[in-house]
Structure 1
Amino acid sequence: MPIKTAWHKTVKWGITGLLLLFVSLLLSIGLGAVWIDPSVIMDSFLSFEKDNIKHQLIFEVRIPRALASALIGASLAVAGTIMQGLTRNPLADPSIIGITHGSGLAIAISLAFIKTGSYWTLLIWSFAGAAFGATCVLAFSMFSKDRISPVTLTLAGAALSTLFSALSTGIALYYQVAQDLSFWFAGGLSGTKWLHVFILLPTVTIGVFLALWISRSLTILAMGEEIATGLGQSQQKIRLIGIVTVILLCGSAVSIAGAIGFIGLVIPHIVRLLVGPDYRVVVPLSAIAGALLLILADVGARMINPPFETPVSAVTALIGVPFFLYLSRQKRGYM
């Protein structure tokens, strides 16, 4: 594809994605158990009134939830993009290869043994669990004859995800914290506050920056390890930065929203289909598309069975499972 044409497509889809993201944020603020008219939303921005219940609802509940949805969606999409680039595995996704469920196991342990722990404690345990899950999957794959092939990584991740999930359930039942852990398994954004936004903002920013830093190397790696090594690229360094990036993004997202799957699987494929395989473009557009998808999924979760909320993970699964089955049937190699 000519450079001029590729740049034109990138700018076009970038602007389109940002406009759709802005509209989806307004939609997320307006929709819910209580409908808020756009004029009221605008009025709350222009002249906020502390005694106005709807203004309070907008600033204390709806806006932090919408922003948290965008940041979590972006983090999961970028994490999936990095995993697919590092492993050259089209099925790689933090929820499929054990990283998300590693965080879940750590959170279950935290709830069982540190019952008075603060949210910061939960966040640290989530990071540790994500690191543990990533280490287990990669270590298992390294001992395989075909190293980190797509099949080996997917099977190892699926097996470890099942093990982590079973251990989490056993710990939760034995120590009577199943009700607390059920929120994590369901995955949701109903409890998000400004604190969560302030935690997510720096972690997602750093994670996306690291992803952009190695994006050119991931594009070269997609051509094959031999070519990347021949060009003087340090594979160990790129993998280390990539894994740290995934742990940072997934650890913060899981600790706040729970097990929301398939965003990291679906979004990178859609973006590559639109703009090509250059990760310098795929990473930022995946962040935008991931934010857009989770916001819309969260809106759908609120509107399917009002006034009750459907777990947002169920909505993303409705999109992701058919896509996963479609990809698993493909016989072609991975670019």
Structure 2
Amino acid sequence: MSKTSRTKLSVFLAAGIAVVILAAALSVFYGSTKIPFETVLQALRAPDMTDQQQIIIHELRIPRTIGCILVGAAFAVAGAITQGVTRNPLTDSGLLGINAGASFALAVCLAFLPSLSFSGVVLFSFLGAAVAMVLVYGLMSIKHRKLDPVRLVLAGSAVSVFLSSLSQAISIFYNIGYDLTFWTAGGVAGIRAKQLTFAAPVILVGLLLSLLLSRQISLLSLGDDVARGLGLEIDRIRTLCLFVVLLLAGGAVALAGPVAFVGLLVPHVVRFFVGADYRAIIPSSMLAGAFCMLAADLISRTINAPSETPVGLVFAVVGVPFFIWTARKEERSLD
């Protein structure tokens, strides 16, 4: 990494930390329920757990804010890794079947285990994401085929369609369409400290592993021939990357649902500022993803207060035009 690149990265990280702290503070102080500024300060300094408003701060807003940071960072880094491994800028972790696997597990829970706690649903959703990734990997392993990026996306798409069809069939047969749709719209309103105790370690391990693999992902993004010529064990590294994507996207989807466009949009924005080196893209995506999720959640809480707008809808409003613009840009680059 050149001196100029390091300078750009340092500036971006410093700015990213500052805006994430600011957005986190706003997330704690503002929400769909109006709580006086002084009450929030008191809840942070010397909480009185007999005060209903201070209970809201500690049991709802603080876990929700931490959840936003983790979910945003996880989706963004998972998307960056997926784009690097597949060398396709129009992909994210959802194309690997992870979102569909989590949705299928949720449909099973709603239909057959309706009394299951939210923590149990989070655990089942993560297991569903893991099963989907195993299916994708199994399809890739048929006849000992290598983990080719094109086949990887095709296998992920096939598994996604299959599991999504099963989820829809269950939702229709057991009349759980409304509950399933509400979850798939994406949101962090249900995050509590209990759910974070399960999902946070999984996501944090994934973020740490992504930093350790950032150099290898940069080599993979250059193409298999170049990476192999530089001594990289392509299949082993690609498998490790898929495992990291599972930890990140699986944990994030289990907590907040399949929030679309975070993993697609954030890495593109980050590349514009820090370049194409994944040693810079991954840490920058962590901060940018965390900020975007915090900002989107803050908008979703306040734009229609006291009701809340699904955070996935906020991202869709920005993400769909961005996706169309990116697709057209890639099409022009191929002409």
**TM-score computed with the length of structure 1 as normaliser:** 0.89
CA displacement 1:238-266 (0-9 Å, x = unmatched): 11111111111122211221121110001
- For 1:80 and 1:262, locate their aligned partners in 2 and report how far apart those are by CA, in whole Å: 9
Aligned partner of 1:317 in structure 2 is: 316
Correspondence 1:116-135 to 2 at 5 A: 116-119=115-118, 121-135=120-134
Runs of 5+ consecutive residues of structure 2 not aligned to the other structure? none
Aligned partner of 1:254 in structure 2 is: 253
Are the equivalent residues in 2 in contact too, given 1:138–1:148 (CA < 8 A)?
no
Correspondence 1:1-335 to 2 at 5 A: 3-119=2-118, 121-137=120-136, 147-149=148-150, 157=156, 160-329=159-328, 330-331=330-331
- For 2:187 and 2:173, locate their aligned partners in 1 and report how far apart those are by CA, in whole Å: 24
CA displacement 1:263-303 (0-9 Å, x = unmatched): 00011111111001111121111011111101111111112
Relative distance call for 1:183 and 1:87 in structure 2 (3 A) is same
Displacement after TM superposition at 1:332 (Å) = 6.2
Amino acid at match of 1:148: P
Runs of 5+ consecutive residues of structure 1 not aligned to the other structure? none
Displacement after TM superposition at 1:118 (Å) = 4.6
- For 2:245 and 2:206, locate their aligned partners in 1 and report how far apart those are by CA, in whole Å: 8
| Residue aligned with 1:36, SS | coil
Are the equivalent residues in 2 in contact too, given 1:71–1:200 (CA < 8 A)?
no
Matched-pair identity in %? 37
Are the equivalent residues in 2 in contact too, given 1:73–1:294 (CA < 8 A)?
yes
Displacement after TM superposition at 1:221 (Å) = 1.4
Relative distance call for 1:145 and 1:203 in structure 2 (3 A) is closer
| Residue aligned with 2:240, SS | helix
Are the equivalent residues in 1 in contact too, given 2:86–2:153 (CA < 8 A)?
no
Displacement after TM superposition at 1:93 (Å) = 0.9
| Residue aligned with 2:331, SS | coil
Are the equivalent residues in 1 in contact too, given 2:122–2:195 (CA < 8 A)?
no
Amino acid at match of 2:200: L
Displacement after TM superposition at 1:137 (Å) = 4.8
Relative distance call for 1:120 and 1:190 in structure 2 (3 A) is closer
Which has the higher mean CA deviation after the structures are superposed, 275-284 or 134-143? Answer: 134-143
Displacement after TM superposition at 1:96 (Å) = 4.2
Amino acid at match of 2:125: S
Amino acid at match of 2:199: L
**TM-score computed with the length of structure 2 as normaliser:** 0.89
- For 2:164 and 2:29, locate their aligned partners in 1 and report how far apart those are by CA, in whole Å: 36
- For 2:147 and 2:331, locate their aligned partners in 1 and report how far apart those are by CA, in whole Å: 18
Displacement after TM superposition at 1:320 (Å) = 1.3
Are the equivalent residues in 2 in contact too, given 1:91–1:154 (CA < 8 A)?
no
Aligned residues: 331
| Residue aligned with 1:95, SS | helix
Amino acid at match of 2:163: F
- For 2:332 and 2:240, locate their aligned partners in 1 and report how far apart those are by CA, in whole Å: 28
Displacement after TM superposition at 1:322 (Å) = 1.3
- For 1:157 and 1:91, locate their aligned partners in 2 and report how far apart those are by CA, in whole Å: 14
Amino acid at match of 1:331: E
